[in-house]
Amino acid sequence: MENILVTGGAGFIGSNFIRYMLKKHPNYKIINVDSLTYAGNLENLSEISNQTNYTFLKADITDRKKMKQIFNSFDIDTVVNFAAESHVDRSIEEPELFLRTNVIGTQVLLENARDYWKLDSKNKYSTEYKPNVKFLQVSTDEVYGTLHESGKFTETMPLLPNSPYSASKASADLVVRAFHETYGLPVNITRCSNNYGPYQFPEKLIPLMIVNCLKGKSLPIYGDGQQVRDWLHVSDHCSAIDRVLHQGKDGEIYNIGGNNEKTNIDIVRLIIDKLGVTDDLIAHIEDRPGHDRRYAIDNTKIKTELKWEPIYKFEQGLNETIDWYKQNLHWVEDILSGDYLSYYQRMYVNL
């Protein structure tokens, strides 16, 4: 592994992953391709922007011509695809954008990975075609749909997505699988639970609640707040992807979870307690259509086959995350720009 194309590297998980990889593997080169939507922020990577083993390119993964140029110019041997429209609420408003980026974008990358022929030592194309670009698709537990009181998601469960976002991610997973079965592309799919940690855009539950508590604003909670999610610290997610890249068996899917199931309302109450604000700020709003009730991840496969386990305890991770947002309110202010505000004013007029 030498030249890793990381897509969506200016977003929350992608930027954490790039920092993680360059620290752990300083001999790797990372090419970060991101179209810088509202969720992409180069400030997330300001401290590494001048490193010689890091390159940023502003480009859209659905742009076939540009993606081809990038594969050829940087001799890409590994792809980690984070680039996506990632917010379920937005997918309900604008499903087409989600299908374009999350499905077509993935397919464009897959085709480039499939068609990229390595030059041999004599600088000629090899005659025998065998795709050898490793492709890791970062997916989500939401593709499995919803669980009820008991049970956990395993990798063999059927895909039953309920939102346009999860449907687009499930569709991409199927295309990735097909490229392995049809063309022999060495792929892996990872399906993780809800991530939290530094640099997460404050539209997702944990940073939204932290930031609103710090500003004394209302805390919007869908319905009764009893929806259960598993929480994974972003650095545990990064170490899991690193493990799958190096040791994952071609064609395999790996679930990644944090062993931290919590209801949304419990998360909000924890944040309220830690920040010492009043729970009068809680505002129950109408539930989201198609809102999944419970997600829970069975980690057995990655734990037994790849010997990976999360190391973060939830309380420790949450404390660190709260501290990070307290110390980086300027980062929050910078990204709370027109697009985000107008979206939230439409969605939650009481904010």
Q: Which residues contact ligand NAD by CB under 6 A?
A: 7-8, 10-14, 34-37, 39-40, 60-62, 82-86, 101, 105, 138, 140, 169, 192, 194-195, 201
The distance of closest approach from Cβ of residue 207 to ligand NAD in the complex, given in angstroms and rounded to an integer, is 10
Spell out the residues 6+ positions from residue 207 whose beta carbon is closer than 8 angstroms to its own.
Answer: 196, 200, 201, 321, 325, 332
Structure tokens at 226: 């009893």
Q: Is there a contact between 43 and 334 (Cβ–Cβ < 8 Å)?
A: yes
Structure tokens at 207: 């940073």
Q: What amino acid positions are annotated as catalytic residues?
A: 141-142, 165
Q: Among residues 342 and 350, whose Cβ is nearest to ligand NAD?
A: 342
Q: Is there a contact between 294 and 335 (Cβ–Cβ < 8 Å)?
A: no
One-letter amino acid of 194: N
Q: Among residues 97 and 214, whose Cβ is nearest to ligand NAD?
A: 97
Q: Among residues 131 and 258, whose Cβ is nearest to ligand NAD?
A: 258
The distance of closest approach from Cβ of residue 111 to ligand NAD in the complex, given in angstroms and rounded to an integer, is 15
The distance of closest approach from Cβ of residue 200 to ligand NAD in the complex, given in angstroms and rounded to an integer, is 7
Q: Is there a contact between 129 and 228 (Cβ–Cβ < 8 Å)?
A: no
Find the helix packing angle between 105-115 and 64-74, rounded to 10°. Answer: 40
The distance of closest approach from Cβ of residue 124 to ligand NAD in the complex, given in angstroms and rounded to an integer, is 32
The distance of closest approach from Cβ of residue 123 to ligand NAD in the complex, given in angstroms and rounded to an integer, is 31
- DSSP structural state of residue 101: I
Pairwise CA distance, residues 114 & 103, whole Å: 16
Pairwise CA distance, residues 76 & 3, whole Å: 5
Q: Among residues 37 and 259, whose Cβ is nearest to ligand NAD?
A: 37
Q: How many Cβ atoms sit within 10 Å of the Cβ of residue 350?
A: 9
Structure tokens at 328: 């980086």
Burial class (CB in 10 A: 0-12, 13-18, 19+), 12: buried
Q: Among residues 10 and 272, whose Cβ is nearest to ligand NAD?
A: 10
The distance of closest approach from Cβ of residue 20 to ligand NAD in the complex, given in angstroms and rounded to an integer, is 13
Residue among 251, 202, 252, 261 nearest 229 (CA)? 261
Q: Among residues 60 and 77, whose Cβ is nearest to ligand NAD?
A: 60
Residue 269 exposure: Cα atoms within 13 Å on the Cβ side: 7
Q: Is there a contact between 312 and 236 (Cβ–Cβ < 8 Å)?
A: yes
